[in-house]
């Protein structure tokens, strides 16, 4: 490991501090006010590194990183925006603002994909807080101290974790429950520690979780979902416990387990700063594999050039391009979503511009209720134009790799907007899901 560099103190900026960001003075006052309105409903958090190193303020409001991190007026339905705007302008009581925001949030599908109804496991007939078990081999764990981020992505499908509403939040304060559950389920070979962002946690908290998992023989891999390599790379270079964190990574590898950082890089600019590359190298030197994933987001990365450059840079730096996701059906998806047909064209155009080492990336992929559905192409079959779909991962492992077909729809953005091809009444997996949806 190289000696750490001096870093600025981490100072997150919230909605109440928008006006205190000097660079924002260049943004018209009415747009700054609109940001405050949106931030009363959807979470906002940024930090000086993003503001000073990643955003090109000469391109604001069209800069992709600005769109990625700062609330935009169009993220709310016009009627909802007017309602919140009126409340804030007249100085409504805080509780009235909170109630209005809560009612809007509950209409934004805060837990897509059956997360509350279908993904929460039970241990000895009791639902387990802060865990999800959707796919046979993988358990997701949400440590309570990791349920925030160094900065929030405006598109984030986990936005409900950050709005202060307990009933919308996944969080666990008891890693012992995780250990007991995984120990009793030998089919679980991989645990994904997620959030929020677990990299906001102190190294000692992560040690407690990792060391407990290492005692379970059938756990083959530990994954950590994070945006920290892009939004606060100092976490791995010069944070007070950066070396302790990297030594933990080394111990996991020394115990013969695979350690992966599932890193969210949304735009090639996130890999440009020297400290970002140094952080990536230090993580890799500690034995972690960095697998890169992000959704395709309108106004941020909805062009093939950005993806081809991003994947080429990742390969050059020793990281593994992994997933190109479709924006999920939650939150401000009407603002950010790209139709599946266009997403497929962007993916196909980008993948043709990269070498074989970058073609590990899979997409466009929808993380939907039944599983991860790949839009693998379009075709003309039996006189009908169709989307060719397949499961990369599924609630029922027997579905994985099984092709199925949907009518081609140039405007469809999600699986529930697609209709089965060839006159079928429904997709093959729908009957199997129906009983599970009816369970309490």
- Taking 50 as the pLDDT cut, the residues of the chain under it are 1-4, 438-440
Q: Provide the greatest CA pair distance for the chain.
A: 64
DSSP-derived secondary structure for 309-368? HHHHHHHHTT-EEEEEEEPPSSTTHHHH---HHHHHHHHHHHHTTS-GGGTT-EEEEEE-
d(CA 387, CA 340): 9
What's the pLDDT score for residue 303? 96
- For residue 260, give the 3-state DSSP assignment: strand
Domain chopping of the chain, boundaries: 13-106
Give me 3's structure tokens.
């000696």
d(CA 334, CA 323): 22
What's the pLDDT score for residue 170? 84
The b/e string for 320-330 (b: 16+ C-beta within 10 A; e otherwise) is bbbbbbbbbbb
Contact in structure between 226 and 263 (CB atoms under 8 Å): yes
What's the pLDDT score for residue 26? 87
Instruction: Determine the angle formed by the axes of helices 78-89 and 29-39, rounding to 10 degrees.
Output: 100
Ramachandran quadrant class, 331 (left: phi over 0; alpha: psi -120 to 50; beta: rest): left
Among residues 204, 228, 222, the alpha carbon closest in space to that of 148 is found at 228
Kindly report, residue by residue over 356-371, the tens digit of the pLDDT.
Answer: 999 999 999 999 999 9
What's the pLDDT score for residue 1? 38
- For residue 125, give the 3-state DSSP assignment: coil
Give me 81's structure tokens.
């925006």
Give me 157's structure tokens.
């499908």
d(CA 327, CA 333): 7
């Amino acid at each position: 490991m190289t000696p750490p560099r001096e870093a600025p103190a981490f100072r997150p900026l919230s909605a109440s501090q928008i006006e205190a960001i000097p660079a924002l003075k260049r943004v018209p006052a009415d747009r700054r006010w609109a940001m405050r309105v949106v931030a009363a409903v959807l979470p906002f958090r940024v930090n000086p590194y993003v503001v000073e190193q990643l955003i090109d303020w000469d391109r604001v409001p069209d800069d992709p990183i600005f769109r990625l991190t700062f609330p935009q007026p169009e993220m709310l339905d016009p009627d909802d925006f007017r309602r919140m705007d009126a409340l804030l302008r007249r100085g409504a009581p805080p509780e009235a603002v909170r109630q209005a925001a809560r009612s809007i949030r509950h209409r934004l599908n805060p837990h897509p994909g059956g997360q509350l109804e279908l993904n929460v496991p039970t241990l000895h007939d009791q639902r387990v807080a802060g865990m999800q078990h959707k796919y046979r081999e993988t358990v997701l764990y949400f440590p309570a101290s990791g349920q925030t981020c160094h900065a929030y992505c405006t598109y984030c499908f986990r936005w409900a974790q950050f709005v202060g509403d307990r009933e919308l939040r996944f969080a666990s304060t008891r890693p012992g429950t995780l250990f007991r559950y995984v120990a009793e389920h030998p089919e679980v070979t991989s645990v994904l520690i997620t959030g929020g962002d677990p990299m906001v946690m102190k190294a000692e908290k992560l040690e407690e979780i990792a060391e407990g998992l290492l005692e379970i023989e059938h756990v083959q891999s530990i994954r950590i979902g994070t945006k920290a390599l892009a939004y606060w790379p100092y976490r791995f270079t010069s944070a007070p416990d950066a070396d302790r964190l990297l030594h933990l990574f080394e111990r996991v590898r020394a115990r013969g387990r695979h350690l992966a950082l599932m890193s969210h890089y949304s735009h090639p600019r996130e890999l440009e700063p020297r400290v970002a590359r140094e952080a990536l190298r230090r993580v890799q030197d500690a034995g972690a594999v960095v697998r890169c994933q992000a959704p395709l987001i309108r106004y941020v990365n909805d062009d093939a050039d950005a993806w081809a450059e991003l994947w080429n840079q990742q390969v050059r730096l020793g990281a593994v391009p992994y997933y190109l996701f479709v924006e999920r059906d939650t939150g401000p998806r009407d603002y950010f979503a790209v139709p599946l047909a266009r997403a497929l064209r962007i993916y196909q155009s980008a993948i043709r511009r990269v070498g074989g080492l970058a073609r590990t990336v899979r997409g466009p992929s929808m993380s939907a209720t039944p599983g991860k559905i790949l839009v693998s192409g379009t075709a003309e079959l039996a006189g009908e134009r169709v989307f060719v779909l397949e499961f990369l991962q599924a609630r029922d492992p027997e579905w994985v790799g099984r092709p199925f077909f949907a009518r081609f729809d140039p405007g469809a953005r999600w699986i529930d907007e697609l209709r089965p091809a060839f006159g079928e009444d429904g997709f093959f997996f729908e009957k199997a899901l129906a009983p599970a949806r009816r369970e309490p």
